[in-house]
Amino acid sequence: MDVNDQKGPQRDTQAACIDGRGADVAEMVQKNLDRSDLIAISSAAIAKVHGRIQGQRFRAKQDDPILLSFVRAEAQMLTTHNTLIRDAEMDEIKQRLDALEARKV
């Protein structure tokens, strides 16, 4: 018996929950994210939180602390991922600079 038979169809709920776009985010997970992907994800998170607090009168919901904890975790992951992208770009720039300096000598 297959594991999927016991639990039902598998769904990437983490990716679907990131910003409500589901399939788009699942596709991004299959590749290395670039800065435009990070901007799309963070923009969706900002829009979700902003939409939640926008209005004439704010009423707290029972699941607000959970939502905010996921938003904080997502923000930390985006920051970490952006740092990794920046470090990789800096390594590439250093390699290119070393190659240019070697050609000059």
Q: Which residues contact 3 (CB under 8 A, 6 or more apart)?
A: none
Give me the pLDDT at residue 31, please. 78
Determine the Cα angle at 45 with ends 43 and 48, to 5°: 110
d(CA 78, CA 36): 12
Question: Which amino acid, residue 70?
Answer: F
Question: What pLDDT digit, counting tens, does each position of 10-65 carry?
Answer: 444 444 444 455 666 667 667 788 889 899 999 999 998 888 888 788 888 899 89
Residue 41, judged by CB atoms within 10 A of its CB (0-12, 13-18, 19+), counts as: buried
Q: Provide the pLDDT confidence category of residue 1 given band limits of 50, 70 and 90.
A: very low
Three-state DSSP at 5 gives helix
Cα angle: 51, vertex 54, 56; to 5 degrees: 150
The residues near 49 (Cβ < 8 Å, ≥ 6 apart) are: 67, 68, 71
